[in-house]
Each structure stands twice: as C-alpha cells, then as structure tokens.
Structure 1
Amino acid sequence: MERMRVTRITANLRVADIDAAKDFYAGYLGLSDEEFNLGWVARYTNPSTGANVQLVTGDETATEDSVISVHADDVDAAYEEARKRGYDIVHPLTDEPWGVRRFFVRAPDGSVVNVVQHRD
C-alpha cells in the first residue's frame, strides 16, 4: 500500500482574535508575510526562513478545530486510507469555497488533523 506523501505541516493555533494576535506573531516573531487572511483563519510566514503558523478563531465549515494542517499530494487517497484504517473522520472530504479539498481525521491520541490539498 502506497502511503500519503506529506508536503508540509502547519501548526493551527486557536486565538480569540486574529488581528489582536497578529502583532505578536507577525511583529515580534517576524512572521511578517500574511499569506492569506479569511477572517477566521490567517497564515503568517517568515519571508527568509519559510517558518509559519496559522491562526484560527474557529473553523468556518467543520464542527471541530484542527491542531495541525497536513498538506498532502493526494487528499482523496489519504481519505480512503484513513477510512480503511478505521480512523474517526470528523469532517467529510469536502471541496471548500476558498480553494482547498480537505477532511478532518481524529488521531488515536484525540488530536484533530486537517488533511488538505490545494486545488489547481
């Protein structure tokens, strides 16, 4: 069985207010490039190192928040493997309006993981 190829993992930090948290993460930590900001989720990156973090106030379409986003090269195959392994899918495989295809799976330790692939 071929395994999912992970291309990147991003930490998802729960914050009450993205704008209020922005000064600390963008200003103090130097994650100054705002890659995107949808109001409920924003990614900040250090332009010279590529280090990044996503700030999340609450997921727009899922009933639970994820602790990390795992960027995969084939989200459909990852979804099928998670189902075959009997993992708890807490958000179904979905084409989201902001240009990603994703699902949420609960790891055996209880952490919720967002497995995502950007659509071309």
Structure 2
Amino acid sequence: MVRRIVANIKTEDLSHADHFYHDILGLEIIMDHGWIKTFGNDEESKVQISFAVQGGNDTPVPDLSIEVDDVDTIYEKIKKSGFEITYDLKDEDWGVRRFFVRDPFGKLINILSHQ
C-alpha cells in the first residue's frame, strides 16, 4: 500500500523555496539535510496523483496543485510578492476557486480552495 507521495523539485539553491513555500504558503521546514529541504505540516490527507491532458478550461497542466484553506488570502500574498500569476483567480464550474502561479523554480502551481 502507498503511504505517501512526495514531489521532488530540482534546484541549485534551496533557499529560494523559503519565501514562497514557508513565508507565503505557511509550510514548515520538516527536514533539512543541506542537500534536500522538505516543507510540510501536520495535516493528514489522502494519497493522490493526477494525470491530465489539460488543466481545466483549456489551461496548461500544472506541475503541482496545492489546496489551501483561504485561496483569496494566498492570492493577495502572491500578488504582493511579485510572483507571476499565469491564470487569474476564478471560481470554476467543478467547485473550486483557484489561480495558477509560477514558483521560484518556474513550476506551474495550481493554488485552490474547494467551495
């Protein structure tokens, strides 16, 4: 049985993750070995992996989807921080409110809340 799935993103500078994933999204550093830094929290969630031909409403398929409790607050933090928003905040027909942003590593991130 699969217990968890971890996304690994290659970078030459681990510190670039701190502002986006810790300061804005509120994840804690749960492991730092100098060559790998892992962010997380104590939330329990289902193991999931998705495969898609498009990201919904003909958007590109995001590299990661991150569900948050208040997408509007995160959206405002992202805007103020100057990260590139590639799909503006929108209520989708399938019951999520979301936006897409490029993280410090160029990954396309779908940030969402279920409505």
Q: 1:96·1:102 contact (CA, 8 Å) conserved in 2?
A: yes
Q: Does 1:95 align with 2:94?
A: no
Cα shift at 1:57: 1.1
RMSD (CA atoms) = 2.1
CA offsets, 1:33-59, max 9 Å, x none?
Answer: xxxxxxxxxxxxxxxx93211111112
Q: 2:24·2:78 contact (CA, 8 Å) conserved in 1?
A: no
Q: Quote the residue 2:17 is aligned against.
A: none
C-alpha separation in 2, matches of 1:97 and 1:113: 19
One-letter amino acid matched to 1:101:
R
Which stretches in structure 2 are left out of the alignment for 5+ residues?
Answer: 1-22, 28-44
Q: 1:93 to 1:116 in 2, by over 3 A?
A: same
SS of equivalent residue, structure 2 residue 50: strand
C-alpha separation in 1, matches of 2:46 and 2:60: 27
Cα shift at 1:70: 0.3
Q: Does 1:78 align with 2:80?
A: no
C-alpha separation in 1, matches of 2:72 and 2:100: 12
Q: Quote the residue 1:118 is aligned against.
A: 114
C-alpha separation in 1, matches of 2:58 and 2:68: 19
One-letter amino acid matched to 1:110:
G
Greater percentage in strand = 1
Q: Quote the residue 1:104 is aligned against.
A: 100
Normalising by structure 1, we get a TM-score of 0.57
Q: 1:69·1:113 contact (CA, 8 Å) conserved in 2?
A: yes
Calculate percent identity across the aligned residue pairs: 36
The number of residue pairs the alignment matches comes to 76
Q: 1:4·1:74 contact (CA, 8 Å) conserved in 2?
A: no
C-alpha separation in 2, matches of 1:99 and 1:68: 18
Cα shift at 1:3: 4.7
Cα shift at 1:77: 0.4
C-alpha separation in 1, matches of 2:76 and 2:70: 10
